[in-house]
Amino acid sequence: MVSRVIPVDPFDLVIFGGTGDLARRKILPALFRRYCAGQMPEGSQIIGAARSDMDDKGFQKLVKEALEEFNPGPKPDADQVKGFLGALHYVKVDAMGTDGWRKLASKMRDGMVRAFYFSVAPSLFGALAERLHSNGMVDPETRIVVEKPFGRDLETAKALNTSLAAHFDESQIYRIDHYLGKETVQNLMAIRFGNMLFEPLWNAQYVDHIQITVAETVGVQGRGEYYDRSGAMRDMVQNHLMQLLCLIAMEPPAKFDPDAVRDEKLKVIRALDPVEPGDIVRGQYQSNDTQTSYLDDVKDPASKTESFVAMKVHVSNWRWAGTPFYLRTGKRMKARSSEIAVVFKETPHSIFEEDAGRHRNTLSIRLQPNEGIDLDVTIKEPGPGGMRLIDVPLDMTFSEALGPEAEVVTDAYERLIMDVIRGNQTLFMRGDEVEAAWAWTDPIINGWEARGDRPEQYDTGSAGPEDSLALMHRDSRRWREIRS
């Protein structure tokens, strides 16, 4: 038995933007799966709130269709769908005006956990926070959930934080980075802090370098307008890759509690050196026989926005001085593959005369697909013929080690929404973390803009631009193969 359902209290969850893309693709299917797992208690209600004219029935129909389209796996069981839809309601609300707010307030019930999910453009965050407050819907137990992008630079992030802080305490604000909800990302903490084996070696003395790769095969997927204003740096590095870097590099928190964990992550971000322009490579994917180019996808032949970025980063503290972190992420790459690899140093001396090669251990943590952990170790090649050494992976693919149930990986949104209801902020970003991440990212982006740098073109289905390979080669290192 792998999964265990920890009950949560009954809740009223309002999803602003409840008819939108994210709600239909991710939030509502995630809630449905929690319902099917028996985690959504009897008496809970989910209220879609949006501008469209719709009643409960219309919303239920929309959600039913979303479940058919976006819930992975076999067709959902009709009785379960019916039961879930019965918990759904709809209120037409004008985020910037006054319509609908009184009705929404009347739906809120005393004694329930109350959460408001802002699945809308960040420009509406302030207005929603203010109206929730002025319509008497906020008590100390109320939570709000906000989606990325949380600003597009330090200034806008600060403004968002200020507008939310006017009506909510930091302990009520849940800033989602869905990477923190991924199963293996949490496993990172379990591996580091639940084993004696790794932590003593987890520093510059033993680790040669660390690679973090988040490669996607998809392009901008009809989000060209948003993406072209963001690019890989804002869309992926400032949040997802930065969070992975923090979890790998942070000191052990004294306990697994939201502020203890987030304090340590913040220290990592603040210890990041500014990145030299020569240590970053940007790219844009080109077309091939079947797929269009980045410039076609965003409908701007002059766009200088990157769909790929690779960089060398230094964490300036005692633990990591001298150990580079190489990060890369891109769209339309050769495989969908996200992994973190901790590459240890070579043995200082070989006692085996016939051993021509030098050996290093690599611990790789596969985020997706095929969640699992590999540890490359050096062993004697079996059979006669002397002491010949080879490197073999000790592979722990979760589904093999833990049985078929582990193949069903809980989606990040399922875990994160349930954490909101439980009131656990550990896997959410605190305001100061987000601001620190922007403070590090801003000068990099400003430098590109000031210099008018153009990204290098790379082939769709490749490992990224040539220069990103050179970024490693010049340090006598190599990127790991991208494969799913």
Shortest Å, Cβ 178 to ligand BG6? 6
CA 187 to centroid of chain Cα atoms: 14
Strands 207-215 and 325-330, by their bridges, are parallel
φ, ψ of residue 134 to 5 degrees: the values are: -70, -20
* Cβ-based nearer residue to ligand BG6, 182 or 209: 182
* Cβ-based nearer residue to ligand BG6, 101 or 438: 438
Shortest Å, Cβ 180 to ligand BG6? 11
Asked, as a colleague might, if the bond just before 200 is cis with ω within 30 of 0, I would say no
Q: Which residue of the chain is nearest ligand BG6 when measured via CB? A: 235
Catalytic residue set: 240
CA 77 to centroid of chain Cα atoms: 30
* Cβ-based nearer residue to ligand BG6, 126 or 149: 149
Query: Which of 12, 216, 228, 376 touches ligand BG6 (CB under 6 A)?
Result: 216
Name the token pair of 207: 């680790």
| Helix (H) or strand (E) run with residue 279 in it | none
Which amino acid makes up residue 387? M
Report 126-185 residues binding ligand BG6 (CB under 6 A).
178
- Encode 317-327: b = buried (16+ Cβ within 10 Å), e = exposed: bebbeebbbbb
Using a CB cutoff of 8 Å and minimum separation of 24, what contacts does 159-164 make?
160/122, 160/125, 160/126, 161/431, 161/434, 161/435, 163/125, 163/126, 163/129, 163/130, 164/125, 164/126, 164/129, 164/431
Residues 222-251, one symbol each (x = binds ligand BG6 by CB under 6 A, - = not), give -------------x----------------
Query: Phi-psi region for residue 146, left (φ > 0), alpha (ψ -120 to 50) or beta?
Result: beta
Shortest Å, Cβ 39 to ligand BG6? 21
| Helix (H) or strand (E) run with residue 173 in it | strand 173-175
The CA-CA-CA angle for residues 200, 202, 207, to 5°, reads 125
**DSSP E strand boundaries for 51-112:** 88-92
* Cβ-based nearer residue to ligand BG6, 148 or 209: 148
Shortest Å, Cβ 223 to ligand BG6? 7
Burial (0-12, 13-18, 19+ Cβ within 10 Å), 396: middle
* Cβ-based nearer residue to ligand BG6, 178 or 314: 178
Shortest Å, Cβ 197 to ligand BG6? 28
Q: How many residues interact with ligand BG6 (rule CB under 6 A)?
A: 3
* Cβ-based nearer residue to ligand BG6, 25 or 388: 25
Which sign, positive or negative, has the C-alpha torsion 156, 250, 446, 460? negative
d(CA 477, CA 163): 46
C-beta separation of 124 from 146 below 8 A: no
* Cβ-based nearer residue to ligand BG6, 113 or 232: 232
* Cβ-based nearer residue to ligand BG6, 235 or 435: 235
Residue 104: strand, helix, or coil:
helix
Which amino acid makes up residue 160? L
| Residues contributing to the site for ligand BG6 (CB under 6 A) | 178, 216, 235
